[in-house]
A and B are shown apart, each in its own frame.
Chain A
């Protein structure tokens, strides 16, 4: 502990990313991209692609979600701490799904 009440290392810590204001132009581009992807996902639903229908629908949804997280939610401009926090959350969710699914798939699948 430093004898000073305020540790100067905190002030110069490069981990605290410099704050950046996202300009409206970025938001307009993101908005248009989201509307276009909404159109594509609806259009793709009317083409019979068998097993690829849900895969494409989910891929587009993930892409839209990532765009919202990175730009509307500013994660792309945030510090590593925030990026890791967001990534860890989704990673933990995927573990949750995968582990639960292995359990369901290994016992009387579809019989209850």
Chain B
């Protein structure tokens, strides 16, 4: 309780003596009530986000079952080392965000600013890796649209050692369905990246306010609620990574 705003509450008083700090809003009885209301509101927003990404995940579930060979071949185009590295980078970013919430709670201003900066840094690294991955798709004409190239899926490159194609060749019809995979890949990772870009802007604003001392005197709600948002973006990636990168690696063939 040492970090909370203690409400000096006297039920016999008709005046509002219980407001002791400016961040404690007048219409809340106690600091705990205000905090819970804020957390509740943030979670309601995150539920709408679950539904939004949920629609994309449902589309993925459906088309993966319908066009499984195309999804397998297209998924093998993604780089597992880059995807794994990005998963670790994003988890690290979330870890520093969690530490940032702790630093705000124990009112360590310097640590809070440091952790917010580290969160931002790893966010940028993630987007940098994503840029490298996207650039490769543009070079190979694996971006859905008029210039999409199915040749690599119809005639996969030959493995020099075995003399066999590295992938199961697809019929031209099925090969065209790889566009569905890449559409979902760009839609899902793109919306995820957009959430991160918005998050990085918010992080910049929060860091500026943190170094001004706004969040080191017991007022942690903005840091806490942004933390919820940032961790939600983490969770989306935790599901995107196995679904997009690890569909089927058929190590036997």
Contact = CB atoms under 8 A, between A and B. Distances in A.
Interface of A: 4-8, 10-11, 13, 16-19, 21-24, 27-28, 30-31, 34-35, 38, 41-42, 45-48, 53-54, 57-58, 60-61, 64-65, 68-69, 71-74, 78-79, 81-82, 85-86, 88-90, 92-93, 96-97, 100-101, 104, 109-110
Given A8-B11, A16-B32, A81-B36, A89 B239 contact: no
Nearest to B55: A96
Given A19-B32, A89-B43, A110-B66, A58 B242 contact: yes
Contact of B242 (A45, A88, A90, A101): A45
Contacts of B238: 61, 64-65, 68
Given A6-B18, A35-B91, A60-B242, A97 B11 contact: no
A78 B51 CA distance: 22
A92 to B, nearest CB: 8
B198 interface: no
Contacts of B94: 68, 72
B7 to A, nearest CB: 8
Interface residues of B, number: 64
A76 to B, nearest CB: 13
Contacts of A68: 94, 231, 234-235, 238
Contact of B235 (A65, A74, A79): A65
A21 to B, nearest CB: 4
B100 to A, nearest CB: 10
Interface string B1-40: 1011001010100101010000000000110110110011
B29 A81 contact: no
Contact of B95 (A27, A45, A97): A27
Nearest to B242: A57
B202 interface: no
Interface of B: 1, 3-4, 7, 9, 11, 14, 16, 18, 29-30, 32-33, 35-36, 39-40, 43-44, 46-47, 50-51, 54, 57-58, 61-62, 65-66, 80, 84, 87-88, 91-92, 94-95, 97-99, 101-102, 105-106, 224, 227-228, 231-232, 234-235, 238-239, 241-243, 246-252
B29 A96 contact: no
Given A7-B29, A41-B246, A96 B239 contact: no
B54 A96 contact: yes
Contacts of B46: 89
A45 B246 contact: yes
A93 B51 CA distance: 6
A46 B245 CA distance: 12
Contact of A16 (B30, B47, B65, B98): B30
A72 B11 contact: no
Contacts of B242: 41, 45, 57-58, 60-61
B36 A17 contact: yes
B185 to A, nearest CB: 16
A100 B58 contact: yes
